[in-house]
A and B are shown apart, each in its own frame.
Chain A
Amino acid sequence: MSTKKTNDDLLERLNLSRRSFLKTTAAGGAAVVAGGLVELKTAKEANAFAYEPYPKDDELETVVTSCAHNCGSRHMLVAHKWKDVIVRLSTDDGRYQRDGHFGKDSLEEPQLRACLRGRSYRQRIYSAERLLYPMIRVGERGEGKFKRISWDEALNFVSKKMIHLKDTYGPTALLDQSYAGASYGVLHKSDQIEGLLGRFLGMFGSRTNSWSVPSYQATTFSSRMTFGTIEDGNEDDAFAHSKLMIMWGWNPAYTFHGGNTFMYMRMAKQRGCKFVLIDPQYTDSASAYDAWWIPIRPNTDAAMMAGMAHHIFTNNLQDQAFIDKFVQGMDAGTMPDWAEGKENFNDYILGTYDGEPKTPEWAENICGVAAKDIRKLASMYAETKPAALKASWAPGRNAYGEQYNRMAAALQAMTGNIGILGGCAEGVGKAWHAEAVAYPYDQYANIWFQSIKSDRWAHCVLNYPNVKREEIGLWQRQDETDGQIPNIKGIFWQGSDWLNQLTNINKDLEAIKKLELVVCMDSTITPSGLYADILLPIATHFERHDTALPWYKGHYYIHRPKVIEPMGESKTDLQVFTELAYRIGGDVFGKAYNPKASRDYFHVNDNVDEAYLREWWETKVIPHQHVDMSWDEFKQRGVYKFNLDQPHVAFRDQIENGTSFQTASGKIEIFSGQLAQITDWKKTMYGYEIPSIPKWIEPWESLNSPKIKKHPFHLISPHPRWRTHSIFNNCSWLRETYEQEITVNASDARRLGLKTGDIVEVWNDRGKCVVPVYVTERCMPGVAVLHEGAWIDLDENGVDRAGNPDMLTLDEPSPAGAFAYNTVLCDIKKTDLEHRPGWDKLATSRAHVFRRDL
């Protein structure tokens, strides 16, 4: 079919005849074509549009793109632009896909509708906090005083410093703290494994890597040990097929985890699925799915699960045939021959080893859930088929959080709910696999000279060289540098606001003073950026060419053209690293880092980016994934949706066809052979012992700890709905939909004399923050909830006036690397200290506190 014919068909089918498509010319440069002319008449009759002038969508140019933050989903955004300005954003309405039409929203190819965060992108890209020019620090570090400099000065400064630090302190001097804030494209990536920065620093020869994932290291570890892979997830449409869904600490109404998961769950509800929520809060997910709410003390989930396992074993409710066939170490009969004398899960639960049967009554003492409810839930889960126990990430962000995830996997396995439609082995939840990398991913990618647990950098910097390898979770190396403590002297932030987001901010602030170079590459001036030496303005994903992947569920690609020209003097990450490579190592480094580019890439990047993306589509996507859409057609439509034969279910092949799991034994390892054979824990990246079967281990702080005499509240810091971590905190549209507030139970509030809206201080020995309080019956007594990601705003005494919970968190991770974000005790009282919400609250209506019917 000729291109013209294809175009004409598209125009007709998509009913877009009045629109103009984004055209990428042969020169690859002109992303902008003239939009339809906008007639801006002043109305003369009483039927005018409510506010004139008002350009209608069909008078504007339409460009399909997507959101791009690190949240849990990836949805379509449709930019309606006039010249080089995005006038408004809409989302998927069924028109853009192949054979689409307005309103098409089938179960196989649902619309990819963006959430409130995605819809507010215009406020982010056009915000006052937008970083538009390279800036260099002129005051003390953290004072927030910068002056504008040229790119030339900025890049010379960075490259000279890099060379100096590497020459003086060696190959571990530069700490890679890139993260996913600018990530999830295939070309412009920021993360620790596939990121652009990792490859750049690795090639340069000085990089300390940060290996633990703040959000979900517990379940990553658990799934690797149990299933041999982190791809333990079902596709979102599989969630429509459960008869029982246990949402363990899971709040998709806030996180929007994965494509259309929440919508398919609604479908399950309409088909009669029962929902259960185990959580210290009665969340919006609980109300929307009409769930049985079981409030639980934070950090005690593994104990409740052990109680459920006890009930299932002692009533013989387990799926023994499944266990015998697929599971290692669930009971004595499924232990491997070599493991004589090692513990199995059944005997642990029954108390054979320690004389302590993990009965529901035993569990009740720890987790606060009535034994009868533990029994009832265990019976429901064992007797309903198929049933999904969705073990979410939040309860894993704890001291010994990996035990919760390992215990969940044991329950999933003993009830035979793995590998079947309507069951669930999540976990991590990663499902359908996208082709993720379009830039050169070669022998230089993810080279590191030491690798540490991500939240131990400050500990390492402050105590160097008197640091033990287990304290920082040093990853094992196969050469003579194994065990050498990294001498960190500089930090790179690429797409990361980690100073604001890691644990124990006060300690981070101490450590950052000791560094000699702090580089922040971002499109926004973040709280971290204020502590940088140099700020490099990075083009947002609206200002560079890329393709979007689903975040962890959903099966589609969304094209991301350059919707508008980069604002100010912004450049892409890839442009910056390429230019730095040329400045540091001339043509050799420059060409190796970016083989398709020439020396002028810093100024002209469109052709090269197009070449990488086209090659990726034509050599990876089309052949590997049986895609029959050309790159040009994809670019024109903006989206490609896969139509799968059946819902993707993790481990279906293992269960239906008997193929091996990816573990050493080929089975689901409730008894982990890998862990059982470790003899010197200090030499592992874990540093400390981890049992080879799931066990309840008392966390260092909880409501059961004697420490509650001093700090009686357990503070948890879940992901907010109105931000993605710290991203979007500066968007007033989102700010007026919520308050950064600490949630407490009404009985606690009465005792403390608090009512909703009162300003309180929240503190422990590590730090203090100031926030308004929200009083509700929907939260467990003794628990306080403060959402993560508020932008720190410190007063002269180091008190955070904006309410960031990481002022109070502890920077000691769990052995497996899980951040202990939710293992925090604190106290709360009414205060006269200043609270600064960070935006003009008075400017808004307050409908969100309207009619809270207490």
Chain B
Amino acid sequence: MSETKDKAKIKEAVKRVKRETYTPVKPDTQLGFVHNNVDCIGCRACEIACKDKNGLMPGPRFRRVQYIEGGTYPNVYAYKVNMSCNHCAEPACLPTCPTGAIFKRKADGIVDIDSTLCIGCRRCEAACPFGAPQFDPADNIVKKCNMCVDEIEAGRKPYCVMACMMRVLDIGQIDSIWDGELETVAVGPNDEIVRQVKNMANIELTKPSIGFVPHSKGKVK
């Protein structure tokens, strides 16, 4: 982390942010996650792989496997909703950033934070309806999932996807995920894909780039 922030650079970045806030970057292609809420055993190997990859101490959890359960004994149900950053089409975090540290990549739509510009003000953390940006007290800045851009650029997939023991988490071009056209074992032969599940923030807020195979109790009518 650089100790002194480059003031000229911040000015320049703020200008860019304003421009992009009102006209979000239209990526050439948008990558997104797909997760099977039913077949996921909730083991959290993806979470630990993410912690290890990003060198995080206890506290920030870029990827969160959320356990949902309900019903009344003995008629109960349970499923998992697995989310990190949704690399939204209209990211709520981006316009809140006072230093222009947050940016959306033109090539693949990944939303990332430039750690050399972040001052740790945590506005983005408050703005995100999904809890993706998280403050890291160890470094005094906000961090979040960047879909392992280094791995993607090396022609591989993010650590979480490659950690999934059940093969129920994957990435792909988001339209093809929603259309059910992505070739992936995360989605079973008779599974449908939805963009919104129960208890999840309204997708109209930010247009998150994520698809789910929903549990019958997790479907939104």
**B partners with A:** yes
A contact set with B: CB distance below 8 Å? 42-52, 54, 56-58, 88-91, 93, 102-103, 105, 113-116, 119-120, 122, 252-253, 256, 260, 262-263, 266, 269-270, 282, 284-288, 290, 293, 295, 721, 732-737, 745-747, 776-781, 839-840, 843-845, 847-848, 850-854
Interface-central residue, B39, B71, B113, by most chain A CB under 10 Å: B39
User: A50 to B144, alpha carbons, bound, how many Å?
Assistant: 8
Q: Is B192 located at the chain interface by the 8 A CB criterion?
A: no
The minimal Cβ–Cβ distance linking B86 to chain A, given in whole angstroms, is: 15
Most buried by B among A49, A52, A776, A839: A49
Question: 30 A-B Cβ contacts within 8 A?
Answer: A43-B114, A48-B114, A49-B146, A57-B151, A57-B154, A58-B154, A89-B52, A102-B156, A103-B157, A114-B163, A116-B47, A119-B45, A260-B165, A262-B166, A266-B166, A282-B76, A284-B78, A287-B78, A287-B79, A288-B40, A293-B74, A777-B70, A777-B71, A778-B78, A779-B73, A843-B58, A844-B61, A845-B59, A845-B61, A852-B67
- A90 and B159 within 8 A (CB): yes
Chain A residues whose C-beta falls within 8 Å of the C-beta of B119 in the assembled complex: none
> Given that A266-B39, A848-B67 are known contacts, is A115 also in contact with B59, CB under 8 Å in the complex?
no
* Selected contact of A46 from candidates B45, B103, B146, CB within 8 Å: B103
Give chain A residues whose Cβ lies under 8 Å from the Cβ of B59: 736, 843-845
Which residue of chain A lies nearest to B142 when distances are taken between CB atoms in the complex?
A50
Chain B residues with CB under 8 A of A747: 73
Contact assessment for B49 and A90 in the assembled complex, using a CB-CB cutoff below 8 Å: yes
Q: Looking at the complex, which one of A47, A122, A295, A839 makes contact with B103 (CB distance below 8 Å)?
A: A47
B131 to chain A: which residues have CB within 8 Å? Answer: 847
Which residues from chain B contact A252 at a C-beta distance below 8 Å? 41
- Decide: B52 and A778 in contact? CB cutoff 8 A: no
Whether A845 contacts B134 by the Cβ 8 Å rule is yes
Q: Which residues of A contact B150 (CB under 8 A)?
A: 49, 54, 56-57
List CB contacts (< 8 Å) of B18-72 with chain A. 38-45, 47-49, 51-55, 57-61, 64-72
Beyond A102-B155, A288-B38, A781-B73, 17 additional contacts (C-beta under 8 Å) are A50-B54, A50-B146, A51-B55, A56-B154, A88-B52, A90-B53, A120-B52, A262-B41, A282-B74, A282-B78, A733-B48, A733-B52, A737-B47, A777-B76, A778-B78, A847-B131, A853-B68
The reply to whether A50 and B61 contact each other, CB–CB distance below 8 Å, is: no
Nearest CB of chain A from residue B57's CB, rounded to whole Å: 7
- B115 interfacial by beta-carbon distance below 8 Å: yes
Count residues of chain B with CB under 8 A from any CB of chain A.
Answer: 77
B71 proximity list for chain A (CB < 8 A)? 777
Which of B16, B48, B79 is A734 in contact with, Cβ under 8 Å?
B48
> Does B92 reach chain A (CB closer than 8 Å)?
no
Chain B residues within 8 Å of A49, by CB = 112, 115, 146, 149-150
Please, how many angstroms separate the alpha-carbon atoms of A779 and B69 in the complex?
A: 12
In the complex, chain A residues whose CB is within 8 Å of the CB of B39: 266, 269, 288
Known: A49-B146, A57-B150. A736 touches B61 (CB 8 A): yes
Q: Does B103 contact A285, Cβ atoms closer than 8 Å? A: no
CA distance A56 to B155 in the complex (A): 13
Per the bound structure, the CA–CA distance linking A843 and B112 in Å amounts to 24
List of B residues within 8 angstroms of A50 by Cβ: 54, 112-115, 143-144, 146
A129 nearest CB across to chain B (Å): 15
Known: A90-B49, A253-B43. A46 touches B100 (CB 8 A): yes
Most buried by B among A43, A46, A262, A721: A46
Please give, as numbers and ranges, the residues of chain B lying within 8 Å of A51 by CB-CB distance: 1, 54-55, 115, 139, 141, 143
